[in-house]
Amino acid sequence: MGKIRISLLAKELGVKSNLLIDRCHEKGLTHITHHANTLIPEQAEMIRQLFKPSAKEVVSAKEASKVKEPIVLHETEHKKDDKTVLQTGSGIKVVQPTKIVRIPKSPPQPQRIVKVPPTKTFWKKRPQAVAPAKRRDHTAEVIEIKKPAVKEKETKIVMEPPITVKDLSSKLGIRANEIITKLLLEHNVRSTINQILTEEIVQLLGIEYGVEIEIKKKEIAAERDFIAEQVSTRIEDLVYRAPIVTFLGHVDHGKTSLLDSIRQTDVAADEVGGITQHIGAYKVEMNGKHVVFLDTPGHEAFTAMRARGANITDVVVLVVAADDGVMPQTEEALNHAKAANVPIVVALNKIDKPSANPLRVKQQLANLELIPEEWGGKTQFVETSAVTKKGITALLERLLLESEILELKANPRNPARGVVLEAHLSEGRGVVANVLIQDGSLRQGDIVLCGKTYGRARLITNDRGIEVQEAGPSTPVSVSDFSEVPEAGDKFYVVGDIQKAREIALERQKKERETSLAKYQHVTLDSLYSKIAEGKVKEIKVILKADYKGSVEVLKKALEELSTSEIKVKILHCGVGGITESDVLLADASDAIVIGFYVTTEDKARILAEDKGVDIRLYKIIYDATNEIKAAMEGMLEPESKEVVLGQVEIRHVYRISKFGNVAGCYVKTGKITRNSSVRLIRDNIIIYDGKLESLKIVKDDVKEVRAGFECGLIVANYNDIKTGDIVEAYEVQKVARFLTV
């Protein structure tokens, strides 16, 4: 048996280590001062003997354990403040170290005295009276601690736009500061915690963090679902529908008068009141077929609807006065029609006037890429007169022929779908929306979802103010009872459940509030490079306004000549005069830049441009405009990579070093070699390796470069097959800016 520590011996004897150390000192073992000290077996046994009770004490303790009667102290030794009543039956044992307890026995036997050592004093609480069956066995009880389940990292998440840095941080479980830093350092995107991110950036971050992010647009999915449930595409259900025609042209060229002649009304004589004027759409019958005419209040409404994606027009009639010719608003109207990508029919109006010159007008329009059919073009020209009714029938026949070519069809059995032309709040009827049905049939009582509003079609009136129970495709009607006033250009649908209509409308309102800070960013000269890099722009669209016609032509030609095979400059519209709201609306719808030369911007147009994010640039020198556009385009051109040879180095000796591999002792013959330059290893005029340097030294010192006439040592990175006589050619690739070539 080996040595035993004081701490282990104390534990064995059931006493404290300090008491054991004191007993060791009493026995002369003064070297024992710490509980980690050890005793030899003989010394340990000596200490054990000190704590063993005598034989009498053992016998007395056994007899005391058999006593069932209460044990009390002798009357002469009883003290008032001492707790001396001991009830062994109930488990109480209160013993004072210096007190003598007499154990009563049977009368013939003498009393025995038990003296309890101080170290054996124990205190126990009185146990509560608990049924034995309910007592808990603490020695047998095992408490099982379950560890919380570790949540597995998600590999795919679904998010709805708009997505902010905060939303992405919550979904990915990554701190927002880390995402913001990553965007700035790796993607050159400055953002805040509430910044709305593009879908491309969100998906790219998901790939980098190892999570597939699916962007789900809830509103579009809901709209697609309820449309798919109702729309029938069976060929046998499709029927002919009337073409929708819009009249555009310059002021006072006879658009309204021509419409009056067609629909046999006199709106031009009285521009006040009447449901027909408010609806702005009219249906005309000819030979059993119908044509619907839109009377838009200027080009702004036409462009606003197209900007909202409501391309409801099938054919555009460009009205040009034969005696006046092409005017600024005529060109503007033509550009609107081209941007909408719809067929154009030219109506040469006022042909009855003596000063009419249709040939001159055709030549002017031919210069604007509207070439008549008789000249080998594709544009139909019709000579009309609102006064003599000349050409009205021919114009209608042309429109019907155009509709047959387009093969316009719809299904009247489907629930109605269409577009809001305009809406207003009526004092007697509440919210009234003037709509044009494009497909299906609208009936009284139908539940209508329209943009961010919904309602029930309680009252339907046609273009002449007559109440109707049902309206089919290509029919303009007025519908009452919406929850809110819809916007022009909003699409409307008939749905079967008003609860579904309410949910979708509320969801759209919520999305509009969330995306109010994430408006569409139009192209500007400053953002042109990033747009091209993303592949979103292949041409620069420009709206040009100048003070004189000559300035317009010169600037237009100068800008168009900047076009290259990689990027084009396209003039959408050019005219004389200041920049108006119409110009801003056209730029907003077409994502164009507005350039003004020696003109100003109207206050309303400037406010609208700020709201829409349209870029307006004003110049007083033509070359400033062309140079700025040219600089923006040159900044977008990919720079050319040009290889420049820095120098040649001859390997004169190869040293084999186990730690570094083959080290070349060299002599710089021409030029220089730098530490960061690329190198080619040439042997017998053949390039055998192309790579980088791992080390460049002169003697034992690292250097950045070594020039001709000096010796150096170098190591070629990841290549050891070098030989004496090899040539190391140092070179670098330089990026050279490209310039536009005329």
Annotated binding site for GTP: which residue ranges? 249-256, 295-299, 349-352
* Distances in whole angstroms, Cα of residue 314 to Cα of each of 64, 99, 254, 399, 402: 116, 118, 21, 10, 9
Map tokens 């009563």 to a residue.
104
Nearest to 103 by CA among 70, 79, 80: 70
8 A C-beta contact, residue 381 and residue 373: yes
Which burial class, exposed, middle or buried, applies to 699 when counting CB atoms under 10 A from its CB (0-12, 13-18, 19+)?
exposed
Measured between alpha carbons, how far is 389 from 382 in angstroms, rounded to an integer? Answer: 12
**DSSP one-letter code for 638:** P
Binding residues: 249-256, 295-299, 349-352
Q: Which two three-digit tokens encode residue 140?
A: 């047998």
Contacts of 472 (CB under 8 A, 6+ apart): 410, 412, 437, 440, 441
DSSP H helices, 108-217, are 165-172, 176-187, 199-208
* Distances in whole angstroms, Cα of residue 655 to Cα of each of 301, 359, 687, 706, 713: 83, 91, 22, 19, 10
Measured between alpha carbons, how far is 659 from 205 in angstroms, rounded to an integer? Answer: 42
Q: Which two three-digit tokens encode residue 456?
A: 């029930």
Q: 257 φ, ψ to 5°?
A: -65, -40
Contacts of 543 (CB under 8 A, 6+ apart): 571, 572, 573, 574, 583, 586, 587, 592, 593, 594, 595
The helix/strand count (H/E) of the chain reads as 20, 37
The pairing of beta strand 212-215 with beta strand 156-159: parallel
Q: Which two three-digit tokens encode residue 453?
A: 């509003």
Neighbour count for residue 491 (Cβ, 10 Å)? 19
Contacts of 542 (CB under 8 A, 6+ apart): 559, 569, 570, 571, 572, 592, 593, 594, 595, 629
**Alpha-carbon torsion angle 422, 428, 429, 433, nearest 10:** 0
Which burial class, exposed, middle or buried, applies to 328 when counting CB atoms under 10 A from its CB (0-12, 13-18, 19+)?
middle
